[in-house]
Structure 1
Amino acid sequence: MACLILLEYISFFLFFLDLVPANMIITHVPLNCTIGDTSRMYQGCLRGQVCTAEGNCVLAGESKGDPSFSKKILKIETAINSRKDGRCGKDYGNTICDAAGVYGKCCSEHGYCGSAPEHCLIKKGCQSGCTVIKNHSSGVYPKKKGSLKSSGHLYVPIENQNKISKLWQDHFEGKNIHGEAESQDGRCGSSFNKIICGNWASGNCCSMYGYCGNSSGHCGAGCQSGNCTVFPVRVPEPKPASLSRIPGHFKIIGEAGVSAMHAGLMPNGKIFFLDKLQNYSQIRTNDGYYAMSAEYDMKTRKPVALSYSTNAFCSGGTFLADGRVLSVGGNGPLDELNPNIGDGFKAIRTLARSSSNPYLDGKHWEESRDRKLSTPRWYPSVQTMPDGRIFIASGSLNALDPFVSENNNPTYEMLDRNGNPQGKSVELDILVRNKPYYMYPFLNVLPDGNLFIFVSKQAQVFNVERNEIIKQLPDLPGDYRTYPNTGGSIMLPLSSADNWRVEIVICGGGVYQDIHSPTDASCGRIAPLDKDPKWEMESMPQGRGMIEGILLPDGTSVWLNGGSKGAQGFRLMAEPVLEALLYDPKEPVGQRFSTLASSTIPRLYHSCALLLLDGTILVVGSNPVELPKLKPDADDPYVTEYRVEQFTPPYLMGRKAKRRPKNVVISTKQIKANNKRFLITFKVPVKPLDLKVALYHGGFVTHSLHMGHRMLYLDHIGFRRGAKWQRIYVYGPPNNNVAPPGPYVIYVVVNGIPSVGQFVFIK
């Protein structure tokens, strides 16, 4: 009887697994190499790979590809036509799957049709329609136009790529002098009948993803044709970092209630957690279904269930000028999990909280049926602009194959300051040029009111009003830095001391989207508004993907989470990195990193970290599997994580915690960005030698991005060195370019130690 119950549970679980929307998977073409080839970077392979005598690119140290993928496909001798319910295999009369059907052509070990690794890999028990990957270690997975009801990844046997190629044959209009067809649509390479880029406007290099362009992502490693770069731009090697004299401390403080894919600190001092639609969480909403969002209280260390109306899977977000949380985009409905949660692709969600009105605590997400984005978006980035309007960029239109242009949304659109849609979606050049690495770009409002946009390896200064590129910046050397190989990015603190000079730091990244991908240890730092901006390069102790940077009120930043081998996506990070790093921007290049304490919990795909009012860091999440899984096993060593950690930085360790400024009183919580001054009084337990007043915005956190994250130091007068009681006048921001409107936290920092922060609003 127990066995029957177990089997029913397994079948129930697998049924839901087939319904889980995929995460976005980006696959490059099969790489062909030649030992001794000096005409291509890495002899035609990628960083971390070597070329075999057979012309295959494999991981360095291996002489052949993964032997588990050389097994013969199980033969089904008496296959019959496919079933309508998606079942297949030996237990269903040797039924095969319909390759053109909605489920996928691979028959899994348990008799389900699908297109995910669980269905198609022989080592997972695939029965028919299986995929043979000769070059698994290079991360070469075949591509398919996916389905919302597939599990895991967009995935299909290689022969179906030819179908995509045929879609483009009608566009051929001529051949060059060598008899090779030239691209008429920006697509190229082996997946498109070996079309070359020729005179394509964006450039003549054909990337390993089959796109024409002239960036380092096109002309560098994996370049198929054109003016390919032979030698990589050198970046600093991993460099050991000294152990911080005071390393800080991680402590487990509670349970999140939901898997925290998105998070942010709200004006009431509590934290919202937001997840995709799942078949389990630790808490339930009032309708009896599992909660997919929660409000976490640091005082009680308990979550309160929140409900939403549309699937927020891989959404983007920011804070509106009035302090409401804004979440946009997402994925499709799964009625079998919760019929009350609808399609989130065009969703606009808001969550209202107040620092003075506790009545709003516990209120649910609000969504209006007639308030939608102009186009669907999955994996969008969001930024509040100086006038309070909302800039939204990028995303997938339907969660289908990113190599089919009709599935992509390399555009931007605007919402008004209240979160209402304005106008249509407009093509954004930097996203178009960097496909398929165009999702979840890094965005920052610069002190001149323009946007810094970074995606893949490219950056530019962009004017939204004129839809104009103000300045194209140099490519960042190293590997890919954004999804699916996202590193971390911060804008260093702004100050009038250097006329609000802005610098951006980007660290980490990876080579390709696969569990074997090397990660990047290098960091680039650039001042985009300088006359001749260049990347200043340095390195972390080791390569890291999915690392995220968090500004601290003392001007340093903490970098944590992620791993040293692999990429973003389900089951794609192999080696978690547990130690945190401290970055001090004032130190000389090469000496800015030091090593902090280590966590005991791997924080991989779908994890978050953010600064709290008390100056500590909340660390939460990690869900690198399609559906919640509570116990690790051989197949999934890293599973769904609900434990919440609190990291105490060095500035609050030991006796320092008792030396922080106290009794802080701010004369107004409504601050106009017009340089008008206001009063702050406070007491310092020890002799004060220096003072900073930090204006801090933590932003909307997801997928290693901290959307809208920024900090500036406000000018002040009246500070008296050595006096325990202080009465100072502080000047608000000079304009909304340096501080876009919305909720901020003021930290009074004395001798490098911050007070408990208080929320204010910048108008």
Structure 2
Amino acid sequence: MAILLFIRSLYLLPLLFFVAANAFFEELPFWGLDPFQSGFNPGDRGGGGGNNEVVTFKPIEITGRGFKGSWELASENSGVSAMHLILSPPNNKAIMFDSTIFTPAKMELPKGKCRPVPGKPNEMDCWVHAVEYDIDTADVRPLKILTDSWCSSGGHDVDGTIVNTGGWNDGGKATRWLSNCKDCDWRDYATVLSGIRWYATQQILADGSFIIVGGRRKFSYEYLSKEGNNNAAKDHLLPFLRETTDKDENNLYPFVYLSTDNNIFLFANNRSILINTKTNTIVREFPVMPGGSRNYPASGMSALLPIRLEENNPEIVKAEVIVCGGTTPNAFYLADTQKLMLDALKSCGRLEITNPKAQWVMEDMPMGRVMSDMLILPTGDLLMINGAEKGASGWQFADVPALNPVLYSPDAQEEERFTVLEGTTIPRMYHSTSAVLPDGKILVAGSNTNDRYSYTKVKYPTEFRVEKFSPPYLDPMLAPIRPEIVEDSLQKKIKYGEKIRFQFSVRQPLVNPNELEVTMYYPPFTTHGFSMNQRMLVLAITRVFPIGFGQHEMTALAPPSGVLAPPGYYLLFLVHRGVPSPGQWIHIK
């Protein structure tokens, strides 16, 4: 009892130490140089690129106070160029894969594991087109993929199995399934889908099933059947997809999200609608987004902003989408016919999709971006990474690599939302990918602007190197306020609406509950600048209690339903004063 009274009395002690410590950490440099201020100079980002010229690339030089992030080379050879990237929960593995037509790769399949080449009965393909990549050790395990997954879509099943749909040629109607076990390999089903789904989008629904939307000249959507079952009779025509197709399409890989009202939000080109999946009807069309085209090959980026939950949630929780970058509708045509690379769009728009009277709220990024990824960080901020500043998606249709990531803080004042971060020297152009890792770093891989694997005599060689980017919250100076979840105290399997209890530590005797957040992150399938199924929830915290020096117990509320958080694996983070803990895998259903 005496010990307990002593611990509780900590909150009543004079707060000199607490105030002094907080004042110190508040003064730590964190944010970057404002790119809108005078003196911001993009500088020389590389040029030339003749047949025998070695081209070097320089990111924007960032000056000023504070840690702007850092880069490290994680691997020289991933085995394949990562056109597609997805984590494999709950293991520390990432699955990287490309098209089966690209050879020679930098790794071969084990002896006796070659695949038959479609249409060539006497020819075998022994090159690796998919790998399992260990995010801690960089070890690579070859995987055998049978049908062509070029420009396919994907996500996780409820049990964490990776589900990949569509592609090109023999893979256009295929589905592929990969479980998360030690020696598992792809299970291919070549003729499952209702038609060829090439450049389509796959989104998980509230019950854990999938909707697959669009694709090249596929103006419809369908609901995916269970593994191996045929989908032929489940095609739903959607004239909206035909209406949003222009001369160069610009509506492929549409941005699709499960809204908090259980409708499907669909954005294609510059228009957007809500679809009721129970009645398969359009329930709302939103205003046209100004500025240009946003989907492939214009290839902007998009995310569903973090969903904030309360102890007592309203009937419909607010949901807001952001769309950034892209290019003008004719950019692909001009790059293809005249080798003219137009500037990418700088504009961003936010739309509250649960508001029947919603209007686009526009703002500008520091630089235009096309083919970039948009990832939700454990803190709820967004990271814009990879891509180019000119051109469009396609073979050698873009130039001026966007070497510097940009941090976007959605809750900051408008003039303070964008921060340009430390850049890389490795261009990540067409067919590059990225992923948020459990430790908060960003895995960056891929890039191939060529119509084959090309290693020499091109400006942007096919890229097999893997990097990791550490965002500003991984500044070593912030270690004293970085929390850590006690893994054994966390229940890994949770149910909707129940209390989530766990213990955590931080190198401070006291914490302010108002400076804590618990976030749940659904890891996406990323390809061609869009992270499908990506989702973050900010949970309601109901209790924070000290149990020892720097040790605390916390209670948060799990999301109440699959409408807000579709069933499956999530990374759970504890954020203290903007600094996240390492994530822990949890499973909800």
What's the TM-score once normalised by structure 2's chain length?
A: 0.80
Kept in 1, the 8 Å contact 2:250–2:294? The answer is no
1:365 has 2:191 as partner: no
Alignment CA distance shift 1:352-1:695 (3 Å):
same
1:755 has 2:578 as partner: no
1:570 counterpart letter in structure 2: W
1:644 has 2:454 as partner: no
Alignment of 1:215-614 (within 5 A): 245-254=66-75, 255-267=77-89, 268-277=91-100, 278-286=102-110, 287=113, 289-332=126-169, 343-353=170-180, 360-368=181-189, 372-396=192-216, 408-416=217-225, 420-422=229-231, 423-435=233-245, 436-497=249-310, 499=314, 500-511=317-328, 512-513=331-332, 514=335, 515-614=340-439
Cα distance between partner residues in 2 of 1:421 and 1:740: 24
State the match for 2:543 in structure 1: 718
Partner deviation per Cα, 1:645-700 (whole Å, 9 max, x = no partner): 10001111123246422333354222222x11132112112243321111101210
**SS state at 1:375 partner:** coil
1:620 has 2:445 as partner: yes
Partner deviation per Cα, 1:573-609 (whole Å, 9 max, x = no partner): 1211111111011112233101110011111000001
Larger-gyration structure (1/2): 1
Cα distance between partner residues in 2 of 1:703 and 1:243: 33
**SS state at 1:271 partner:** strand
Kept in 2, the 8 Å contact 1:273–1:293? The answer is yes
State the match for 1:337 in structure 2: none
Partner deviation per Cα, 1:405-463 (whole Å, 9 max, x = no partner): xxx11110111465744432111132121113332100011111011100100011111
Cα distance between partner residues in 2 of 1:390 and 1:420: 14
Alignment of 1:128-147 (within 5 A): none
Deviation at 1:487, TM superposition (A): 1.0
Cα distance between partner residues in 1 of 2:415 and 2:291: 17
Cα distance between partner residues in 2 of 1:256 and 1:295: 9
Alignment CA distance shift 1:692-1:375 (3 Å):
same
Kept in 1, the 8 Å contact 2:92–2:136? The answer is no
Cα distance between partner residues in 1 of 2:439 and 2:150: 30
Partner deviation per Cα, 1:189-212 (whole Å, 9 max, x = no partner): xxxxxxxxxxxxxxxxxxxxxxxx
**SS state at 2:531 partner:** strand
RMSD of the alignment, in Å? Answer: 2.1
State the match for 2:563 in structure 1: 737
Alignment of 1:164-203 (within 5 A): none
Bigger Cα displacement from structure 2, 252-261 vs 415-424: 415-424
Deviation at 1:756, TM superposition (A): 1.4
Kept in 2, the 8 Å contact 1:579–1:596? The answer is yes
Identify the structure with bigger relative contact order (alpha carbons < 8 Å, sequence gap 6+): 2
Cα distance between partner residues in 2 of 1:283 and 1:535: 47
Deviation at 1:242, TM superposition (A): 9.4
Alignment CA distance shift 1:418-1:628 (3 Å):
same
Alignment CA distance shift 1:365-1:243 (3 Å):
farther
2:234 counterpart letter in structure 1: K
1:262 counterpart letter in structure 2: H
Cα distance between partner residues in 2 of 1:672 and 1:259: 38
2:175 counterpart letter in structure 1: I
Cα distance between partner residues in 1 of 2:226 and 2:549: 43
| Pairs aligned (count) | 494
What's the TM-score once normalised by structure 1's chain length?
A: 0.62
Kept in 2, the 8 Å contact 1:381–1:707? The answer is yes
Structure (1/2) with the larger strand percentage = 2
Cα distance between partner residues in 1 of 2:410 and 2:454: 40
State the match for 1:656 in structure 2: 478
Kept in 2, the 8 Å contact 1:243–1:594? The answer is no
- Equivalent pairs: percent with the same residue? 33
Cα distance between partner residues in 2 of 1:665 and 1:685: 19
Cα distance between partner residues in 1 of 2:227 and 2:64: 46
Kept in 1, the 8 Å contact 2:62–2:422? The answer is no
Gap regions ≥5 residues in structure 1: 1-123, 125-239, 333-342, 354-359, 397-407
**SS state at 1:706 partner:** strand
Gap regions ≥5 residues in structure 2: 1-50, 52-60, 115-125
**SS state at 1:665 partner:** helix
Cα distance between partner residues in 2 of 1:621 and 1:700: 14
Aligned pair partner of 2:492 in 652, 663, 669: 669
**SS state at 1:575 partner:** strand
1:758 counterpart letter in structure 2: Q
Alignment CA distance shift 1:720-1:627 (3 Å):
same
Kept in 2, the 8 Å contact 1:381–1:392? The answer is yes
Kept in 1, the 8 Å contact 2:131–2:143? The answer is yes
1:432 counterpart letter in structure 2: R
